[in-house]
Amino acid sequence: MNLMRKLALLVFFVLILSFGVNAKEQARDDVEVTITSENNQITANDFAIFDVRVASNLLRNSDFFVAKNFYSDKWRVTADPYILSVQSGYGETTRLKVTPLGFLAPGKYNLILTVESRDKTVVKEVPLEVEIIPFGEENVKTDLIVDDKIDPRTGAVARIKLENLFNHDVEDVTILFTSELFDFKREVELKANEIKIEKFNLEFETNVALREYLFRVNVKSGHEVLGGASKKVEFTPYAEVTEKIFRSNNFNKKIVVTKENTGTEESTETVSIELTSFENLLATYNVKPDEVESGDGTHTAFWTFNLNPGDRRDIIITLPYGTYLAGLLLIIVVIYMGLYVSRKKVVLVKRVMDVHKDQEGIRGIKIILHLTNRGNKAIHKIRVIDYLPKLVAASSKDFTTMKPSKVQRSADGRMRLVWDLDGLDRGEERIISYVAKSKLSIIGRLALPDAVVEYYSGRKYVHVCSNKLTLLTKESEKEKKSD
């Protein structure tokens, strides 16, 4: 009995399950999904559009979700509206928009989306095909920026400008920059619509052939070519001229300008040196300047010349300060020595302090002999000699400071006075004074001869004279005025 019940229950459940499955299959058959493509060929920068129609033959009204649970890391699918309320025996349409989420290489892509009823009794999987076609000749606009002509000795800088034409980021972008002379590979990333410039420093061998080379740029993502560029660049002869300026600090100053052409072609060079007026007056040149311009107290000398490859030119300006300075010092020394030698070491000055006169003329005079040693050392055995003219004489009582060693009178009436001194130290002074008188009044001019000092300097005998004096009476002064 129990066994029969169990068998009956089992048969019952099998019938129910079979009925449900048949009902679902019948429901799926009663719902038809139709896909109409408006544009399924797009670039990776665009989106595809589909029309999805859901028709129902169910015996009830039903709601259907279109692409409700669709997920992909490469695509975004949106339906508008995404819920369709369909009456039995009728159909409704929604617009489906399919957009790439990133860079996709050209090709065909298959997507699966679902149409599901709200009670989940109907679930249909609908295939979609989207074809990515090339954006154009370039998906990444590429420009190669480099000089048309390059001096291989100095190298060059090349710049590659990339402009991402996609509205989405492109990862794993490879730049291949190549030629016969170099091979660069660089990985970069490009954001949506980004403009990026990559710099490449180019260096070349010194013996590279001077001719035309083709520089090429390829921009790839995987095996897909996104863009490219190329340019022909000429390696040209070059004029490489080095300039060195040397300035010496010696007394005889020199300015040396050296120009050397280490390039491969001829070069025209100009050298200019600015000098002051004094320097311009002294300057001598190994090569005469082509031109000298003057202005505002300065003078600028110019040289212009051609340098062939391997040539060198030296411009030397000599300013002989030392020579002229040495000459000037020599002249100063000679003048000083001449002045020193010619300068009197012993100076004797003769003065008249007092003149005694009467109504007729001169009756007496006081004479001072001022002796000075201006030398650098003391002198010894000095003799001072003074002379008095006719009609004038001096007696022993007329010497106020120092009496003479000798007093001599000549046959014609002149008097010779001699003083012998032991010595005179450096800078020492000695004054000899006496009074000379005349018995008769002297009318007219009275000429007093110069005094003399004699001494030995080493082995040389030195003779130094003083100044001469002339005295005038009143009558002679009147005569002079009348003349």
Q: What is the CATH number of the domain that holds 69?
A: 2.60.120.570
pLDDT above 60 for 155: yes
Same domain, 357 and 455: yes
* Residue at 10 is within a domain: no
CA–CA separation, 415 vs 351, rounded Å? 18
CA–CA separation, 124 vs 84, rounded Å? 14
Same domain, 353 and 457: yes
> What digits encode the pLDDT tens for the residues 449-465?
888 998 877 777 788 88
Buried/exposed 31-43: b ≥16 CB within 10 Å, e otherwise: bebeeeeeebebb
* Residue at 14 is within a domain: no
Among 178, 205, 235, identify where a domain stops. Answer: 235
CA–CA separation, 122 vs 110, rounded Å? 23
pLDDT given for residue 19 in this prediction: 41
Which amino acid type is present at position 159? R
pLDDT above 60 for 26: no
- Which two structure tokens, joined as six digits, stand for 242? 């080095």
* Residue at 34 is within a domain: yes
Q: Containing domain of residue 57, as a range?
A: 28-132
pLDDT above 50 for 430: yes
pLDDT given for residue 159 in this prediction: 95
Same domain, 216 and 254: no
Q: For residue 438, what is the domain's CATH number?
A: 2.60.40.740
pLDDT given for residue 282 in this prediction: 79
Mean of pLDDT values over 106-116:
86
Same domain, 165 and 87: no
Which residues pair with residue 352 across a beta bridge?
367
Same domain, 354 and 426: yes
> What digits encode the pLDDT tens for the residues 49-108?
988 888 888 778 888 888 888 888 888 888 889 888 888 888 888 888 888 887 777 788
pLDDT above 60 for 273: yes
Same domain, 350 and 477: yes
Local structure of 398: helix, strand or coil: helix
| Placement of tokens 């699918």 in the chain | 77
User: Are 343 and 374 a contacting pair, CB within 8 Å?
Assistant: yes
Handedness of CA 320, 321, 327, 331 (dihedral sign): positive
Burial class (CB in 10 A: 0-12, 13-18, 19+), 379: buried
Among 269, 288, 322, identify where a domain stops. Answer: 322
Torsion angle, alpha carbons of 350, 356, 362, 367, to 10: -10
* Residue at 90 is within a domain: yes
Same domain, 165 and 201: yes
Among 235, 259, 293, identify where a domain stops. Answer: 235
Same domain, 436 and 407: yes
Number of H helices, E strands in the chain: 4, 34
H/E stretch holding 1 reads none
**Beta-strand relationship, 62-66 and 107-117:** antiparallel
CA–CA separation, 319 vs 326, rounded Å? 13
Residues 6+ apart with CB under 8 A from 78: 67, 96, 97, 99
Angle, alpha carbons 6-11-15 (nearest 5°): 150
Q: Count of domains in the chain? A: 4
Residue 453: closest CA among 461, 468, 467, 463: 463
* Residue at 340 is within a domain: no
Mean of pLDDT values over 344-350:
82
* Residue at 8 is within a domain: no
pLDDT given for residue 350 in this prediction: 87
pTM, rounded to two decimals? 0.40
| Mean pLDDT, all residues of the chain | 81
* HSE value, Cβ hemisphere, 13 Å, CA-based, for 447: 3
CA–CA separation, 280 vs 298, rounded Å? 8
Same domain, 96 and 144: no
Same domain, 126 and 191: no
Same domain, 280 and 354: no
Q: Is the peptide bond before 237 cis (omega within 30 degrees of 0)?
A: no
pLDDT above 50 for 20: no
Handedness of CA 407, 412, 413, 417 (dihedral sign): negative
Same domain, 85 and 144: no
* Residue at 296 is within a domain: yes
Residues 6+ apart with CB under 8 A from 108: 129, 130, 131, 132
Residue 353: closest CA among 436, 445, 465, 446: 436
**What is the DSSP code (8-state) at residue 396?**
G
pLDDT given for residue 236 in this prediction: 84
pLDDT given for residue 174 in this prediction: 94
Q: For residue 187, what is the domain's CATH number?
A: 2.60.40.10
pLDDT given for residue 137 in this prediction: 61
* Residue at 307 is within a domain: yes
Angle, alpha carbons 193-194-198 (nearest 5°): 145
